Each structure stands twice: as C-alpha cells, then as structure tokens.
Structure 1
Amino acid sequence: MDEKRLEQLEQEIVRLKARVDQLERQPAKDPQPEPVSSVARPAVRPAFVKKTRTPVIKQARTRDEWENVLATVWLPRIGAIFAAIGAIFLFSYASLAGLISPAVRIGSGVVIGLLVMALGEFQYEKKRRDLGVGLVATGTIVSLSALFAGMALYQFYPPLLAFFLEIVVLAIVYGLMLWMRSTALLVLVSITGFLLPFLQLTDEPNVFLFLLYEVLLFTALVFAVLRLKAVKAYPVTAGIFFLALIFGSLTVNFETRPLIDEITLLGASLIAYLGLAYVGTKLPITYNYPSWIAGGFVLLSLSVVDWPFAYGLAVLFALIAYAVANRTKEAWQNGVGHVAILFAISQIPVDPLSFGDQFRSLLYALMIAGLWFIKRQEVPHQRFFGIVVYVMFVLYTIGTYETYRFNDRSYAVAVFGLTLATTAFIVLLVRTHGEAIWKKYWQIVLLFAAAGVFVTYTLIVMELPFYATLDQTDRSTTLSVAYILLSFVLVAIGRIRGTAAWRLSGLLLLSVSAVKLLLFDLSFLSLIQKAFVFIGFGIVAFIISRTYFKKRES
C-alpha cells in the first residue's frame, strides 16, 4: 500500500517538473499599455482638510449616573460651603466665649485655611478632583476672611500689609488653579481678586493704583483662560474687569481727578479691548462679544475724560478696530470701528445752534451713505445697521429742529444732510429691491423709508423762505398742499417705473393727507382755504384714480 502511494507521488512530481520546464521555454510577453481614459484625473487632495465638527448628542443620564454625579460632584461642593460656614460659626463662638485671643483667632484662621488648601491638593493627587477643588476654594475663603478681620476688626497690621498677604494667598490659589485646571477656581480668583482693593477700606480712592492692579490681574486671568481653554469662564473674567472700568469711569466722571487717572482709565479700557480681541482668536467661540463691549468701554472712557481732542482719539481707535478686524478676520470688529466713527462725529467741539453744529448732520449723512455703498470694512448685516443709524439720525434731526425753531434759527444745513441720507436710502432700495436679503424684512424697511421721506419732505417745506412768515393756519394749509403734491409725484413715479412700492407710498401719503384735512385743517381753516385745499385734494384723487382705470381697461 505504501509502495503504491510513493509511486503516485513520484509520477506527480515528474509531471510538475515537465510543466515548469514548458512554462520557462515560452517567450515573455510585453506588457500591454494602459488604456487612455478620456476622464480627467481628480485633483490632488490638499494636505490640510478642514474638519467639520459633528454634533454630539448627549444621552440622558441614568439613575445611577445621577446618583454618582450628586455624590462625587455636588456633594463635595456643598460640603465645602457648609464647612466654611461652620468654621465661621466656630470662630464666632470661640470669640464670644473668650476661649482664644484675637491674635490666635486670626493666626489660626490663616493657618487652617492654608491647611485646607493643602488637603485639597492632596485629594486632587488622589484622583478626587471635585473634592480637592472644593477644599481649595474653602481654604481660600477662610484665609482671606481671617486676613481681612485682622486688618479691619483688630488693626493688627496696616491695610498695605494685609493687601500684600492677601495677594500671596491669591497667588497660591492661582498656581493651584493652573495645576488642577479648574474653571471654578478661575472664577473664584477673578471675583476675589477684583474685591481685594475694596477691602482696604480707604476713604480716598487711588484710581491709578486701582486700575494698574486690575490690569495686572486681568493679564493673569487672560493667561489662565488661554491656558485652560476656559470658554465658560471667559465672559466672567471679562465682566469682572468691566466692573473695574465702570468704577474707574464713575470716579473720574463725578470727581475732579488728576490727568494720570484719566490716562490710566483710557489705557486700561484699550488694553481690555485688545486683550479680549486676541483671546477671541485663541478660543473656540463663535461671537467674541466681550471684545465688542470692551470697545464700548473705550468710547465711554473718551466721553468721561472730556478732552477737546477726544474726537481725534476716537478716529484713531476706529482705525485700530479696523486693523484688529483685518488681523483677526472677525468682521464684527468693523462694527466697533463704525460706532467709533459715529462717536467721533458727536464729539466734535462746536458751539450749539451754530453752523458747525449743523455740519455734523452732513457728516452723519455721509457716514450713513458709506455704510450702504462702501464695500470695505463691512460688518455682517451692515445694511440693517445703516438703517438703524438712519432712524436714529432722523429722530436726532427732529429733536434738534425744535431747538433751532424755538430760537428762531435756520436749520437748512441739517435738513440738507437729512435729504442726502434719505436720498441714499431711496437709491439703495431702488438698486437692491430684488435681492434675497430683503425678503423677510421688505415691508418693515419700506415703512422706515416712507417715514424718512415724510419727515424729510416736511422739514424741507418748513425751511422754505416764505414758511416762517406765515401764521399757524397758513402753515397747516401749506403742509397739506405739499403732502397732496408729493403723493401725486410718488404715484406718477410708480406708474413710470412700474414699481408698486412707489404707488403704495403715494396712496398712503394721500390717505394721511385726508386724515389731516378732516381732523385738523377742517376746524380752523377759513372758508376759502378749505375750498382750495379740499378741491385740490379731490382733483389729485380723481387723477390718480383715473390712471388705475386706464390700466384696468388696457
């Protein structure tokens, strides 16, 4: 059996050798060329591809997970708060009972606070992060409270030494915060650091030293925010510095302060704007609104210092805001620059009821037209921003006109500026009425445009040379006739251009004229004036109606 098996294997080997020799004798075939495809090769993929963030859907926590969160996260925090309150009660009892002297109370309070902070660090090393953060926060509050009590209640040391010791405690907490990477401790350092100067109980505030300290604290906190990527703590840190700027502004505004305080206030607000604009480029945030608010504080500081050349500094700050927008690629910073330009116009030193005062209206009008037609340094939704500024400009012109009218002064230059702004508004709507940006808000925009045209036209009529010589009755008649003529012109323009907005504006103004005739003019006009105005209104109404009949027949 084995011999037969061996013979079969030998025969199989012989056949395989013969097959291999046959294959080796065959000539090698040349490789066929690759067929040419008419389809273009795809472009080489770039080395950097922007990744899109996939939304993370958080699942609802189970009962066990909630129990674990309450026990490991919130319970240590609550316990830390109660422990701090209990320590205060214990010291109060010991003080009332006379068990320990004031010096011992203060010293033991500081030492206990530092020991609790050390215990928090130990717990953090044992992977009990939330418990460690809570203990560090408790120790911080106890130590700072003890140091403040030693200075305010017992006068053991002067306020300057107390402030230095509190800074040392705050520096320790700051280092622990960076090591533990705790956002909660960052918020604690922000709040306590801001309050430290107010705990010195001084009667005369030193704005220079206060703002200098707050700027240094702000710089340290900004570094911590960038180091920890603390997006949630970022607004808190900025808000704390804004409170310091508010305090400095109020002090400079209501008290006579030296020049160094005013310069420090302006410099601190500018540092806040530049620092927050830089932070916005390093954090994953969509809108860096703290930096916009900081820009407002720069303008607030310029208004508080009340320098005669503040308008020039406002223009310089606008250029800085535009440079920041170009550098950070954040278009919203252009809005800060636009507001700074408007602020600079308002701060031009001119005498009230003078030509220079009216000349500002021309500058406002040019600024509004630039917002609509200049394509550089654009802010998102700039057209709507320009409309808001235009509405405010119309209200400002109406309010200022009453002052000029009361003092019997001409207001022609300001009315000319309002006419320029209104004309720019109409040109904008005529050029862009078909764009998709207006679809949702077209009716509201038309309402603002109609109101602007109505106010502008009224002021133009009231600034005519003969209008001032008329009595009250003749003035009302003149306005009624002017409104009727304008409604006719608007409907005619709408017919020529085939635009319904013009026609509807004319019909609306004609309706307003009818209401004015019935409610106001009818009561005090003379018979000849009533006849003239009402017949004129009827003629215009018939002419407009006739044009609609012709259109329907055609």
Structure 2
Amino acid sequence: MEEQRITQLEQELEALKLRVAQLEQLHPVPHPTSTPEQSTVATPKKRPAFVKKDDTFSPKIKQIRTRDEWEHMIATIWLPRIAAIFAAIGAIFLFSYASISGWVNPAVRVGSGVLIGLLLIGVGEYQYEKKRRELGVGLVATGTIVSLAALFAGMALYQFYSPGLAFSLELVILFITFGLMLWMASRVLLILVSITGFLLPFLQLADEANVSLFLLYEVILFAALFYAAVRLKTILGFVVSWGFLTIALVTAMSMVGFSPPSTSDEISLLAASLVSYIGTAFTGQRLRMKWNYPSYGAGLIVIASLAVIDWQWGTLIALALAGLAYSIANYSKDAWHNAVGHATVFYAITQIPYDILRLSEQFETLLFACILIGLWFVKRQHMPYQRMIALALYVYFIFDQITQSGMYAAMNDSFRLSVVALVLATSGLIYLLVQQHRAMVEDGTFQISLVVAAVGVLTTYTLLVMELPFYDGLDETNRSTTLSVAYILLALLLVTIGRIRNLSVWRLSGLLLLSVSAIKLLVFDLSFLTLVQKAFVFIGFAIVAFIISRTYFKKRKNN
C-alpha cells in the first residue's frame, strides 16, 4: 500500500510541474527591478593637497636565489657570454691554423671572416627575436669583433685595400651593431661600440695623424653614444663612453702639444672639448644623475685644452667658458658647475698678458685675493662647500706668497702689491669670522677657520713689517728686534680690540701671539741681540704683559 501511495504522489508531482511550465509560457513572470541600496557609510572627505603624505615604506628585503634560479641564470646569461668569447677566440685560432697550413688563400680568409661575422650577427638577431636575449647579444658582439678583425687583417697584413676603404667598411659594421644595440636595448653592445669605435682611428696605421679629422670622428661617435645612453637609460654606458671620449681628447692634446703649432688643430681641440662639456652636462641631466661627475671632468678637460693651446688672449676665452659653466649651472640646477666656472676664472687670471699690458706680475696676486673675497661674500653662483674650499685656497695663497717674497727678496725687488693682496685677503677672512661666527660654530668649521686666520694674520703682518722702507737697511739683529717689537704691539692691539668689542676670539688671538713672541725672544733673539736690544725688547714685553694682565684683573673685580 505504501509503495502505491508513493507512486501516486510522484505522478501528481510531475503533473503539477507540467502545469506550472504551461502557465509560465502563457504568462511570463516579470523580474523585479533591483534598486541599488544606499550605503549608510559616509563618503570619505577629499584629502587636502597641502597635507604631507607619509613617505615611509618598508625596506626591500634581498631575496636569496634558489638553486634552480642560480642554474637558470648561469645557463641563460653567463653561459652565452662565455660561449661568445670562446667562439671568437676559436675562430681566430682556426683562421691562424688555416693560414699556416695553406688551406685557404688570404683573400678567402678575409672574406670568410667578414661573412662569418655577419652570419653571427644575423643569428644573434634571430635568437633575440626568439626571446633568447643574452644569447642574441653575445652572438652579435662576437660577430662584430670577428668582422672588424677580418677587415683590419685585410688592410694591415695583406694590403688588399687602402686604410680609408677599410675604415669605411669597419664603420658599416659598427653602424649595424649600433642599430642592433638600440633595438635590443643592450648596455653590453653600447660598451662594445664605445671601445671599438674609439680604437678604429688608431688601427689605420697612418704615418701622420690628422688631429682635426680624428676629433670630428670622435665627437660624432660619442654624441651618438650619449644619445643611446639616454635612450637606454644606462648610467654605466654613459660613464664608459665619457671615459673613452676623455682618453681621445687627452690623446689629441698630446698630439697638439708636441707637434708644431697648427691653428686648425688647436681650434678643433677647443671645439671638441666644449662640445664634450656641453654634451656630458645635458646627458647627465637627462639621466637624472645626482652627481654628474663626467660633466665636471669634461669642464676640467676644457681648461686643460686652453692650457695646451696657450693663446695670447686665452683669458677672454677662459672667461667665456666660465660664463658658459655658470649658465649650465643655472639651467641644470647643479651647483657643482659653478665650481667649474670658479676654477676657470682662477685660470683666466693666470693667462692675462701682464707684460703686454705693462702691469707687474704681482697684479695677479691682487686679482687672486679679490676672487677669494668674492667666494666668501658673494651669494650668486654658490657652489657646495664654497667657504671651506676658499679657506683651502687661502692657505695655498699664504704659502705661495711666502715663497714669492723670498724670491723677490733674493732679487732685491719689492713685493708691495703682494703684501697689499695678502692684507685684503686676510682682512676679508677676519670679517668673515666676525660676520658668520654663528654659522661657522653650528657647522663645526669655526675652530679650523680661526687657526687659519691666526696663521694668515701672523704671515701678513710679518711680510708687512718686512716691506717697511727702513727694514732693508737693517742688519739681521735689528731685523729680528723689529719683528719682535711688531709682534708685541700687534698682540696688544688684538687684546685691546677684544676688550672693546667684548669678543674672546680677539683676546685669545692676542694672548697666543704674545706667547709666540715670548718663545721667539727666548729661543732665537736671546743669543745674538746686544745688551741694549735685549733690555729694550724684554722690558717692552713685560710692560705689555702687565697691561694685558691688568685688564683681566679689572674685569674679574668688576664681575
């Protein structure tokens, strides 16, 4: 009974399903349109533009390569490079053996070498299209080297064609490699083109070098390489190219310097150096280099080129170069180009024809002192560490003037202008210490600046006393006495200034100078001064010491 009942219920259920299906076909049920629910969450406010975003980020963790990754890198990257090198060496050995055995004549050797090189370049391009990048680059590099070596052998060993034709054919190979380098975006090929392109002029074995043509070729070549470095965004390729360009310019400078003067060669050298400086500055800016040291080096190469040329009015060209460096600094926002401009200005004052202008050579020291003062106080065209660099130049200036004063004294000539220049530079340094005292204390350069200023004051004062009209007429004993008295008076003057302005720097300088004077009296003057001179100098020293000490006792009593 129960089974019959279940069967009947199933039949009724199937009948109901059929009836429902028929009704849906006659009257389809419309689907209700869904209305989007309004969110109760408030929309976040727009972040103000002036709110500084949080730049904190988690440090990158260098992942250690697995064994499979090492295997893949060696097999796909390093192995093709090694294979390319060994293939090139093997090809050279094969041709050497074939030539020794007499299997092929020289023409076949050269032609087959060029064809094999081109075939390797084509296979490398095909491998690159098949997504085998490193293998393709290695084959192209190998083919380039083999083709260039074969062309060089045909010119140098067998004289099949002239050096000019060989150079043209080599340029064709180099141009093909350059195009593939841009297409493959390969830094390795860029470096290869830099090396081989630089060496091509030296492989022509010419008896007389054409400096102008050599520089024109090198400038065009490396301009193209700088463009490629910007396009590939490779700083290493740019630096390598600049290095070989610098070697080319230095080579040209040696050829110009050791050969008879040629105006065309000198103009070509100067123009190539200027193009190199402008090109490296522009390329470094496009590559967003923080320190564009190739450009700074190129600026120094321009100065060296001016020194090699040594034109009579080279100072005008040097000043024009300084203006160019300042313009590049303003355009690129790189303050180190101001350093190139400052160095060029210093070089310019050494190239002034003082004899033609009927000026004393000591006028150069006066200009040097004025530029030093400008470095300390002029705010425009400021370079990094300018104050300390100017301080180092001041130290050099002091020792140079000490040497020059000895030379002028040996020739019984006056060095009055040099002393005036020293007085100007030393006065500028003292004013700098007073004006920028707080800034120097904050950056920790005040102590060393004070020591340099003390040495400068002592040197300047000594040379000033030695330049007095009556000093030349004195003997050695009276000269030493005069210097001792001058040091004592200067110490009293420094302490007096310090007491009036209430500055410990001046007082301390005076006390130190007084101590130096005491040592000089006891060690040097005591042995050869006369009794009258000893009494005069030592009593004068004691009086000054008592006066200075008295001022300190008054100060302590008032406090």
Bin of the TM-score, shorter chain as denominator length: 0.7 to 0.9
Report the Cα offset of residue 152 of structure 1.
1.3
**1:450 is aligned with what amino acid?**
A
SS in 2 for 1:356: coil
User: Any idea what the Cα deviations from partners look like across 1:454-510, whole Å, max 9, x if unmatched?
Assistant: 111111111111111111222122222222222222222223323232222223222
Identity of aligned residues (%): 57
Distance 1:86 1:271, change over 3 A: same
Report the Cα offset of residue 449 of structure 1.
1.4
Q: Which stretch shifts more, 518-527 or 115-124?
A: 518-527
**2:342 is aligned with what amino acid?**
H
Report the Cα offset of residue 440 of structure 1.
2.0
Q: Which stretch shifts more, 538-547 or 410-419?
A: 538-547
**Partner of 1:326 in structure 2?**
330
**1:499 is aligned with what amino acid?**
L
Q: Do 1:491 and 1:505's aligned partners in 2 also have CA atoms closer than 8 Å?
A: yes
Determine whether 1:448 maps to 2:439.
no
Q: Do 1:353 and 1:404's aligned partners in 2 also have CA atoms closer than 8 Å?
A: no
**Partner of 1:425 in structure 2?**
429
**Partner of 2:221 in structure 1?**
217
TM-score, with structure 1 as normaliser: 0.87
**Partner of 1:386 in structure 2?**
390
Q: Do 1:231 and 1:284's aligned partners in 2 also have CA atoms closer than 8 Å?
A: no
Distance 1:298 1:54, change over 3 A: farther
SS in 2 for 1:103: helix
Distance 1:105 1:404, change over 3 A: same
SS in 2 for 1:469: coil
The within-5 A match list for 1:460-499 is 460-499=464-503
Determine whether 1:247 maps to 2:251.
yes
**Partner of 1:14 in structure 2?**
none
SS in 2 for 1:470: coil
**Partner of 2:161 in structure 1?**
157
Report the Cα offset of residue 162 of structure 1.
1.1
SS in 2 for 1:523: coil
**Partner of 1:192 in structure 2?**
196
Q: Do 1:174 and 1:189's aligned partners in 2 also have CA atoms closer than 8 Å?
A: yes
SS in 2 for 1:59: coil
**2:334 is aligned with what amino acid?**
E
**Partner of 1:20 in structure 2?**
none
Q: Do 2:77 and 2:134's aligned partners in 1 also have CA atoms closer than 8 Å?
A: yes
User: Any idea what the Cα deviations from partners look like across 1:505-549, whole Å, max 9, x if unmatched?
Assistant: 223222322332233223332333233323333333333334334
CA distance in 2, matches of 1:186, 1:229: 12
**Partner of 1:183 in structure 2?**
187
User: Any idea what the Cα deviations from partners look like across 1:84-130, whole Å, max 9, x if unmatched?
Assistant: 22222222222222222222222111111111122221221121212
**1:389 is aligned with what amino acid?**
L
Determine whether 1:434 maps to 2:438.
yes
Distance 1:335 1:55, change over 3 A: farther
Determine whether 1:274 maps to 2:278.
yes
**Partner of 1:59 in structure 2?**
62
Distance 1:51 1:226, change over 3 A: farther
CA distance in 1, matches of 2:357, 2:542: 41
User: Any idea what the Cα deviations from partners look like across 1:235-259, whole Å, max 9, x if unmatched?
Assistant: 1111111111101111111211310
Unmatched segments (≥5 aa) in structure 1: 1-40
Q: Which of 103, 109, 114 is the equivalent residue of 1:110? A: 114
Report the Cα offset of residue 437 of structure 1.
6.8
CA distance in 1, matches of 2:348, 2:552: 50
Q: Do 2:415 and 2:467's aligned partners in 1 also have CA atoms closer than 8 Å?
A: yes
**Partner of 1:122 in structure 2?**
126
Determine whether 1:536 maps to 2:536.
no
Report the Cα offset of residue 44 of structure 1.
6.2
Determine whether 1:260 maps to 2:268.
no
SS in 2 for 1:118: helix
CA distance in 1, matches of 2:156, 2:95: 16
Distance 1:452 1:42, change over 3 A: farther
Q: Do 1:353 and 1:409's aligned partners in 2 also have CA atoms closer than 8 Å?
A: no
Q: Which of 362, 377, 391 is the equivalent residue of 2:366? A: 362
**Partner of 2:149 in structure 1?**
145
CA RMSD of aligned residues (A): 2.4
Distance 1:55 1:255, change over 3 A: farther
CA distance in 2, matches of 1:52, 1:339: 39
User: Any idea what the Cα deviations from partners look like across 1:366-385, whole Å, max 9, x if unmatched?
Assistant: 11111111111212222223
CA distance in 1, matches of 2:348, 2:326: 15
CA distance in 2, matches of 1:283, 1:309: 37
Report the Cα offset of residue 55 of structure 1.
8.4
**Partner of 2:178 in structure 1?**
174
SS in 1 for 2:223: helix
Distance 1:530 1:98, change over 3 A: farther
**2:344 is aligned with what amino acid?**
A
Report the Cα offset of residue 354 of structure 1.
7.5
Q: Which of 345, 358, 377 is the equivalent residue of 1:373? A: 377
CA distance in 2, matches of 1:507, 1:465: 29
Q: Do 2:325 and 2:341's aligned partners in 1 also have CA atoms closer than 8 Å?
A: yes
**2:108 is aligned with what amino acid?**
V
CA distance in 2, matches of 1:96, 1:42: 82
CA distance in 1, matches of 2:419, 2:487: 18
Unmatched segments (≥5 aa) in structure 2: 1-44
Q: Which stretch shifts more, 388-397 or 363-372?
A: 388-397
**2:150 is aligned with what amino acid?**
A
**1:457 is aligned with what amino acid?**
Y
**Partner of 2:287 in structure 1?**
283
CA distance in 2, matches of 1:137, 1:477: 79
CA distance in 2, matches of 1:81, 1:533: 83
**1:110 is aligned with what amino acid?**
V
Q: Do 1:355 and 1:413's aligned partners in 2 also have CA atoms closer than 8 Å?
A: no
User: Any idea what the Cα deviations from partners look like across 1:416-457, whole Å, max 9, x if unmatched?
Assistant: 111111111110110110116753222212121111111111
Distance 1:120 1:233, change over 3 A: same
Report the Cα offset of residue 172 of structure 1.
0.8
Determine whether 1:237 maps to 2:236.
no
Q: Which of 407, 411, 415 is the equivalent residue of 2:411? A: 407
Determine whether 1:71 maps to 2:75.
yes
Distance 1:51 1:330, change over 3 A: farther
User: Any idea what the Cα deviations from partners look like across 1:314-351, whole Å, max 9, x if unmatched?
Assistant: 11111111122222222221222111111111110123
CA distance in 2, matches of 1:151, 1:541: 87
CA distance in 1, matches of 2:47, 2:315: 54
TM-score, with structure 2 as normaliser: 0.86
Q: Do 2:270 and 2:302's aligned partners in 1 also have CA atoms closer than 8 Å?
A: yes
CA distance in 2, matches of 1:42, 1:366: 57
Q: Which of 518, 530, 551 is the equivalent residue of 1:547? A: 551
